[in-house]
Structure 1
Amino acid sequence: MRFRVRGWGAGQWVTFGAIAFGSLFLAIGLILTWVSVSYLASGERARGTVVSMEWRSDGGSGKRRANDGPTAYPVVQFTAADGKSRTFEGSTGSNPPAYDLMERVEVLYRADSPGDARINSFTSMWLLPLIFGGIGLLIGGIGVTVAIVRRRRPPRTAQLTKSPAGHPA
């Protein structure tokens, strides 16, 4: 006697989870990309100067690596179009520092909120969109590939054997 297994098995849930997780990360990556593009398209530009470094320890998982240490975030000062001097901390840090003190950088900011500014650099503008989008494409792509392969396979059937008493084993 043969019967078709109905309902979702663990494999289907894992596949669905991978597609959902990948889609979520891809959506976040696309939103972050849109934010970066909007800064580049409509943001005001100004020359800024790295005036100091804000050193922070990661304070995270407690796992120590050989290169662990504090991370330097650049503090940038610039003059907005309204003539006011503004200061902000860069969104990406590194060790060793990516910028030198008194280094000149290009700043992008929104005219309606000059305090919301970014350094116009690859890491500041594109690192997070690439990480989120890349992880989303990778995990979602794996999930979709597994779903397609599973769908092309013939349905799994199980054979029931009857025990001598006439009941399924």
Structure 2
Amino acid sequence: MQVQVRGQGARRWITFGAIAFGALFLVVGLVLAGVSVAFLADAERAQGTVVSLEWRSDHSSASRKKRTDDKPVAYPVVEYTSAQGTPRTFRSSTGSNPPSYEVGERVEVLYRADSPDEARINGFASLWLLPLIFGGIGLVIAGIGTAVALAGRRRS
């Protein structure tokens, strides 16, 4: 009998942890989506041109050994002219391999009038990828935790 109680207690904590972890990720996804919506509400629009691709191998730790499957990622460098007539250049914070954009390609740039250096390409990845990843992972994990909790309640 004592083994079952310990097992149920551990199962409850794991279920609660999954729901809490999923809810946290879901909240982060919603906050990131809110940031994108707020940015879109205040953003000025301009036409820009991809002037180069900055290839980088991103590594989170200098001590990590280079793996053979690590591929460099291309970050587009975009040039545009703000509404004040000032030419601006920025590197997108979203990179990919293969590259999403080609040198010379025209793109729509979104920027804030009060800080035109904080610009983004008007594209799905730069606006919605992170909110969808965090929100999706959170929804799946919280959903699984909730389903396990409901199934456990029905058994008892």
Q: Which residue of structure 1 lines up, in the alignment, with residue 98 of structure 2?
A: 96
RMSD, aligned α-carbons: 2.2
Counterpart pick for 2:84 among 65, 82, 85? 82
Unaligned segments of structure 1, at least 5 residues: 155-169
Q: Which residue of structure 1 lines up, in the alignment, with residue 16 of structure 2?
A: 16
| Separation of aligned partners in 1, 2:68 and 2:134 | 24
TM-score by length of 1: 0.80
The answer to which structure has the higher helix fraction is 2
Q: Deviations over 1:3-62 (max 9, x none)?
A: x948x7211111111111101110111111112222222211011111111111123554
**What's the % identity of the aligned pairs?**
66
| Separation of aligned partners in 2, 1:81 and 1:55 | 30
| Separation of aligned partners in 2, 1:119 and 1:52 | 14
What amino acid is aligned across from residue 27 of structure 1 in structure 2?
A: V
More displaced stretch, 123-132 vs 52-61: 52-61
Q: Aligned pair 1:106/2:86, yes or no?
A: no
Distance of aligned partners of 1:13 and 1:62 in 2 relative to their CA distance in 1, 3 Å threshold:
farther
Pairing of 1:85-164 with structure 2 (within 5 A): 85-154=87-156
Q: Which runs of 4+ in 1 moved over 6 A?
A: none
Counterpart pick for 1:72 among 74, 92, 108? 74
Pairing of 1:52-63 with structure 2 (within 5 A): 52-60=52-60, 62=65
| Separation of aligned partners in 2, 1:129 and 1:59 | 22
How far is the alpha carbon of 1:82 from its aligned partner?
Answer: 2.0
Distance of aligned partners of 1:5 and 1:69 in 2 relative to their CA distance in 1, 3 Å threshold:
closer
The structure with more radius of gyration: 1
| Separation of aligned partners in 1, 2:125 and 2:52 | 19
| Separation of aligned partners in 1, 2:102 and 2:42 | 28
Q: Aligned pair 1:48/2:48, yes or no?
A: yes
TM-score by length of 2: 0.87
How far is the alpha carbon of 1:150 from its aligned partner?
Answer: 1.4
How far is the alpha carbon of 1:63 from its aligned partner?
Answer: 6.8
What is the aligned residue count?
A: 151
Q: Aligned pair 1:34/2:34, yes or no?
A: yes
